[in-house]
Amino acid sequence: MGIMRMGYVHARVTDLAEAKHHYANTMGLYETHTDETATGRRVFYKGWDEWDHHSVVLEEGGVGVAKFGWKVERPEDIDEVEKKAQTFGVTVERMSAGENPEVSDGIRFTTPSDHVFEVYHGQTLIGTEVGTHNPECFPRHLVGVGVPGLDHALVLAEDVRTMERFLTDVFDFFPTERVQTDLNDDDAHYIATWMTSNNQIHQLAVLEGPPGNAQGKLHHFAFKLGDWSEVGRAGDLFAMDDVPIDIGPTRHGITRGQTIYFFDPSGNRNEVFAGGYLAYRDRPTVKWTPDQIAKGIFYHARELNERFTTVYT
């Protein structure tokens, strides 16, 4: 089975004009499509080093995440994911090509964490901004941060263990890192997990949220950058554009990534992320205890600010 990557994040924003200024002018994403549906206006974006039609969809009306799209390697992989999801106990519906602009047919279902996932096999190929024939290293005229593309997301759930099992059983993901109450107890309580299907250190992380107010919630979605210097430059641009910064620049102990967390104009948390080590299926899962979670998340300061644990959309 071939879940290759997170293909898109479809997020809600309160003011589309403000959101477009943030994602296009500050983040440097390229607009590829706009439309209007019964639920509101939408705009579609891609990063300069992404080849598919879009990786971010913004829909006017509210905050938080509407759904995630996951791209598989082959059309027949969709049938396999569907069977595994049904075996897990999830109700699956089919979606037709074009329900999402420029996206193939596929399936749609709601996870145990109440997040909507769509699984598809194709998206209209646009190509990167530097092409594939004798390309330059990056476009000459990047705008703002000039993020190359979407990287990962962190969502909340009331039951992290169940979500880890769901992602393992249905998507064939594996955990790279985890926070649990006992390092040696297989029945320990899971507080957070970082999961992937490939060498990327994580594609989706799941954090335990407060009972009754965690399901379907978004903590952040992240854009990839190359290295520390690009993360620092992003911080300078956020200051220039009055982007509210949550924390950073700093480093994670968990994943070893370099990071800045910040908010879009609607209050959705974003991240720019660089570094991290390569993940392999035979690499032992890195485990953290709750008393060390501050070191794991913010390696330098080793303390959590209140916003990071209480603000989500």
**82, 115, 220, 230: which is the annotated catalytic residue?**
220
**23, 202, 230, 312: which is the annotated catalytic residue?**
202
Residues of the chain with CATH 3.10.180.10: 3-120, 149-310
Respond yes or no: is residue 271 known to be catalytic: yes
Nearest in space to 8 (alpha carbons), one of 118, 132, 157: 118
Q: What's the pLDDT score for residue 91? A: 98
Q: Residue 31: CB partners within 8 Å, gap ≥ 6?
A: 20, 24, 43, 44, 45
Identify the CATH number of the domain defined by range 3-120. 3.10.180.10
Q: Which two tokens stand for residue 201?
A: 């250190």
Respond yes or no: is residue 277 known to be catalytic: no
pLDDT for residue 154 is more than 80: yes
pTM (2 decimals)?
Answer: 0.96
Query: Cα dihedral sign for 34, 35, 40, 46?
Result: negative
Q: What's the pLDDT score for residue 1? A: 59
E runs forming strands in the chain: 3-13, 30-37, 40-46, 56-60, 64-72, 92-95, 106-110, 116-120, 149-157, 174-180, 190-196, 204-208, 218-224, 245-251, 257-263, 269-275, 286-288
Q: What is the pLDDT of residues 203-250, one digit of tens each?
A: 999 999 999 999 999 999 999 999 999 999 999 999 999 999 999 999
Q: What is the pLDDT of residues 263-273, one digit of tens each?
A: 999 999 999 99
Amino acid in the structure at residue 17: A
How far is it, in rounded angstroms, from Cα 235 to Cα 238? Answer: 5
**Which of 180-184, 253-257, 275-279 is predicted with the least confidence, judged by mean pLDDT?**
180-184
**10, 54, 152, 219: which is the annotated catalytic residue?**
152
Respond yes or no: is residue 33 known to be catalytic: no
Q: What's the pLDDT score for residue 38? A: 80
Start-to-end CA span in the chain (Å): 32
Fold of the CATH domain 149-310: 2,3-Dihydroxybiphenyl 1,2-Dioxygenase; domain 1 (3.10.180)
Question: For the chain, what is the mean pLDDT?
Answer: 96
Respond yes or no: is residue 220 known to be catalytic: yes
The half-sphere exposure of 50 on its side-chain side, counting CA atoms within 13 A, is 29
**22, 54, 121, 252: which is the annotated catalytic residue?**
252
Give phi and psi for 299, each to the nearest 5.
Answer: -65, -35
Arithmetic mean of pLDDT, 52-62: 97
